[in-house]
Amino acid sequence: PKQYEYILTSKPDPSVALITLNRPKALNALCSPLFDELNEALAGYDADPEVGAIVLTGSEKAFAAGADIKEMRDKQCAFSDVYKNKFLENWTAITNLRKPIIAAVSGYALGGGCELALSTDIILASPTAKFGQPEINLGVIPGAGGTQRLARAIGKSRTMELVLTGRNFSAREAEAWGVVSRVVGEGEGEVVKEAIEMAKVIAGKGQLAVQAGKEAVNAAYEGSLIEGLRTERRLFHMMFATSDQKEGMSAFTEKRKANFTHS
Ligand code: CAA
């Protein structure tokens, strides 16, 4: 695989891509070059026909401790700088991927780190995970979706409390509130192992259906119920134009395992 400065990439299984944020000295603070590398790797795996799902993780100590505060500090009152250079706008690329992306979170997921996790499709948390939007302590507010995605996930009152006090929330709170799909067992590397297993399961399904399913669930977050239901119905209808639908339903009636061809 290509050598990057701030991330590591590998395939723990031919069908699964693993991207590890690797800027240990700064607890994986998301500086611009790191994000450029991340987007390049994500785009590569999204286009790789062998890959069915992507896992994104950090270290045991930190998934990511936020946007890079030192980089931001030097933007001296420069609205024109951040505006003209579209600061943080390339952070949305991850939400346009076709393939499912699972965040395996250990340690700090703060500020932009929390927002990055919220931009993925499924979050698995280690018991050590600590989430939060501490931007208020820096004299700013979340800028990569935190106020919007948290409000949709956990409601107004909790989001207001977190955004206005800046307090962290635990893996258990994240689980109880539905921010993460579940907290895995203790033990080093456990959360990444679980995420890879889940990615393998997803990659074993028909990829057209997986991608349509992701698109349909996302429609629930992006528009009204009526539009979402219409999107779901249309995508469901589209499945009947695939070989995978014939194969999946034939395999069920013939009592055998489906052999999806992703076509
Ligand atoms: N940006 C830049 N550097 C960071 C960083 C960040 N977000 N977070 C940590 N680091 C650096 C520290 O400066 C330190 O570097 P030095 O050794 O050169 O001093 C190194 O990483 C280790 O950090 P600490 O010594 O602070 O480690 P700790 O274990 O004592 O504390 C922590 C860990 C509680 C996570 C603490 O580092 C911290 O509070 N970090 C900042 C968290 C934060 O405010 N994040 C929000 C950023 S703003 C944002 O993300 C905007 C947005 O919405 C997009």
SS3 103: strand
Which H or E element spans position 62? strand 62-64
73 CB under 6 A from ligand 1? no
Which residue puts its alpha carbon closest to atom 54 of ligand 1?
A: 112
Interhelix angle 207-222/225-239, rounded to 10 degrees, is 170
Q: What is the pLDDT of residue 84?
A: 82
pLDDT confidence band for 226 (50 / 70 / 90): very high
The answer on pLDDT for 86 being more than 90 is no
Question: Is the C-alpha dihedral spanning 224, 93, 50, 15 positive or negative?
Answer: negative
Nearest alpha carbon, ligand 1 atom 4: 26
Instruction: Return the minimum-mean-pLDDT range out of 80-84, 156-160, 259-263.
Output: 80-84
Fold classification of 7-203 (topology level): 2-enoyl-CoA Hydratase; Chain A, domain 1 (3.90.226)
Structure tokens belonging to residue 70: 């030192």
Name the token pair of 27: 């607890």
| The CATH number, out of the four listed (2.40.50.100, 3.40.50.1370, 2.70.70.10, 1.10.12.10), of the domain defined by the range 207-253 | 1.10.12.10
CA 158 to chain CA centroid, nearest Å:
21
Q: Given this model, what pLDDT does residue 241 score?
A: 96
Using CA atoms, how far apart are residues 37 and 4, in angstroms rounded to an integer? 7
Beta strand pairing call for 101-105 and 122-125: parallel
Give the distance from CA 129 to its chain's centroid: 15
ipTM reported for the complex surpasses 0.95: yes
Q: What is the mean pLDDT of residues 156-167?
A: 98
Specify whether 135 is catalytic: yes
Catalytic annotation, pick one of 41, 67, 203, 209? 67
Active site (annotated) includes residue 115: yes
Would you say the CB of residue 138 lies under 6 angstroms from ligand 1? yes
Tokens of 241: 């134009």
Residue 23, helix vs strand vs coil = coil
Q: What is the mean pLDDT of residues 168-191?
A: 97
Whether 64 has a pLDDT exceeding 90, the answer reads yes
Residue 40 above 90 pLDDT?
yes
pLDDT per residue over 8-35, tens digit each? 999 999 999 999 999 999 999 999 999 9
- Please tell me the distance between residue 177's alpha carbon and the centre of ligand 1 in angstroms: 25
To the nearest whole percent, how much of the chain has pLDDT over 90? 90
178: left (phi over 0), alpha (psi -120 to 50) or beta: left
Question: Does residue 231 have a pLDDT over 90?
Answer: yes
Structure token digits, residue 118: 């919220």
Q: Whose CA is nearest to atom 47 of ligand 1?
A: 66
Q: What angle do CA 18, 22, 24 make, to 5 degrees?
A: 145
Given 17, 62, 65, 115, the catalytic residue: 115
**Domains of the chain: which residue ranges?**
7-203, 207-253
pLDDT for 100 equals 98
Which pLDDT score, from 0 to 100, does residue 77 have?
67
Helix residue ranges, H only, the chain: 32-47, 69-73, 79-84, 112-118, 146-154, 156-165, 171-177, 190-203, 207-222, 225-239, 243-253
